[in-house]
A and B are shown apart, each in its own frame.
Chain A
Amino acid sequence: MVELKHLSYNFGSHWALKDINLSVGKGEFLFLTGHSGAGKTTLLRLLYGALPVSRGRATVAGFDLHRLKRRYVPQLRRRVGVVFQDFKILPRRTVFDNVAMALEVRGMARSPLERRVRAIIRAMGLETKSYTQCERLSGGEQQRVAIARSMVSNPELILADEPTGNLDFGLTMHLMKIFKQFHTYGTSVIMATHSREVLEAVPEARVLHLENGRIHDLNKPDDTEDDIEEFE
């Protein structure tokens, strides 16, 4: 599903990611942990084509990101769902319209689209709010709308960047249950978090620790200090 080989990324002279090697299989659940500034967001942004891959190799859902032309980025995004800490939904539009957006961009016909949107809204427990403007929803409900939008197109991979960062403990657990549910249906999940509760909610998940842009394997002795100069 995701194959990264010697992936590096720099903002000017600052290397946010250094020599990342990673393989995530179909249906896997992977946590990215690490302090703020460790490179979690940068890694996720590379994976959905928001940043260009120029150093190293990255394959996501069959797309070679190193060679991916700009005009094919929409195709990649249709295979990969994204969820953010700040939800990124449109507050002036209804729940239905926000979720339907992900299918409309593909030009899906109206009646199957409505069926699928209704089904996912029901699965999220939001059916009574279908036609409520999102700005009137609570934070937890808004994040469920965002998750519904990322899942409605049945993506092979979900990328979530601290999706529970703005929510309290109860809502966090509720959302993690939803993510686990989709995971058991076969969707791969890569989730950045620095919350212990979130990690503990999915005990079977793999955990990858990032530190200063490098993968820091907690089980191995520290051997990551080799030739940093190569990237500077």
Chain B
Amino acid sequence: MIGQFFRLTGRGLGDILIHPWAHLLTLVAVAMVSLLAGFVLLGLHNVNMQLMKSRGEVQFQIYWKTDTDPKIIESQWEAVGSMDHLVDIKGFTPQDALLELADTLGEAGDFGWLKETNPLPFSALASFAVPPSSQQEGWAAGILTKLKSMPGVEKVNYSPLQEDLAHGWKLISKAVIWPVIGFLGLVVAMVVGNTMRLSLLTRNDEIEILALVGAKPWFIRWPLITGGMALGLTGSMAGLGLLKLAQNTLADILNIPPLFIHINFMPMEYCIALVGGITLVAIVSSWVAVR
């Protein structure tokens, strides 16, 4: 029984060589389909990466109460300056703020008369870049609360633009990504399935003859399934290899100002899903070939 199992497995693999051209074409077709599917996955992955990256960038404008001791404010600037993921902090004294205000208004604004009784508060602009790995639920709100709770701080504004964009992307990925992946899966399944079915047409005679001499269904199917598995596995791995090659060549094609996008390869889970999915389709279509 075990011996026969191995013999049939060996036959399934050896039989590929009986119709080398038909099987080579099948292999090429499977590789091309997985390459195309891989391109789509790679694209999704990189778009996702870009959005996740900008999603972590957020700016807070901090205003202190006008009567706060400048010493305390300076120490708080330092405290903010040492917070996690901070990339930049700019502090504004009331004088700085006034100068800047005058600057923006140009000739029209002469605020010299305000110098003594400057109504502007101390403020600071803190920019954070939180990497995707540290973006737990409510991370931006967490920073906001922390900043607000500092003594002397009157109010904190923050630019929620990126956060909204990322939130929107999350909604889009829920509504669009899965249908796209589902559709991609369907197309891959149909193309690979039909290709496998066509290549199994060359074996119809064999299936018929085996049945005529009294072969049980599993005896007929097992070699076809192992052969299909081998084709699906090598085909999709070859496609993945080509994809890696393409990514290596094109990695820095967008890495130019102002984009600075480095195209990354897909994570392992995507690769496994691609190879596994295509191999599964190949196995299933080999199984279905024998009614």
Instruction: Give the interface of A toward B (CB within 8 A).
Output: 48, 71, 74-78, 82, 88-90, 92-93, 101-102, 105-107, 149, 153
Contacts and interface: CB of A to CB of B under 8 A. Distances in A.
A169 to B, nearest CB: 28
A75 B217 CA distance: 12
Given A88-B205, A88-B208, A93-B18, A107 B4 contact: yes
Contacts of B219: 105
Contacts of A48: 212
Given A92-B18, A92-B19, A105-B219, A77 B209 contact: no
B1 interface: yes
B4 A101 contact: no
Contacts of B215: 74, 105
B209 A89 contact: yes
Nearest to A93: B18
B214 interface: yes
Given A88-B205, A107-B1, A107-B4, A101 B19 contact: no
A78 B219 CA distance: 14
A75 B1 contact: no
Contacts of B4: 107
Nearest to A82: B212
A77 B1 contact: no
B214 A90 contact: no
B209 to A, nearest CB: 6
Contacts of A105: 210, 213-216, 219
Interface residues of B, number: 17
B219 to A, nearest CB: 6
B206 interface: yes
A77 B205 contact: no
Contacts of B209: 88-90, 101
Contacts of A101: 209-210, 213
A74 B19 contact: no
Among A76, A82, A102, the most chain B Cβ lie within 10 Å of the Cβ of A102
B175 to A, nearest CB: 47
Contacts of B211: 74, 77
Given A88-B205, A90-B206, A107-B4, A77 B18 contact: no
21 contacts: A48-B212, A71-B216, A71-B217, A76-B214, A77-B211, A77-B212, A77-B213, A78-B213, A78-B214, A82-B212, A88-B205, A88-B208, A89-B209, A90-B209, A93-B18, A101-B210, A102-B213, A105-B219, A106-B214, A107-B1, A149-B213
Contacts of A78: 213-214
Contacts of A71: 216-217
Given A71-B216, A93-B18, 11 more contacts: A75-B214, A77-B211, A77-B212, A82-B212, A88-B205, A90-B205, A102-B213, A105-B216, A105-B219, A107-B1, A149-B213
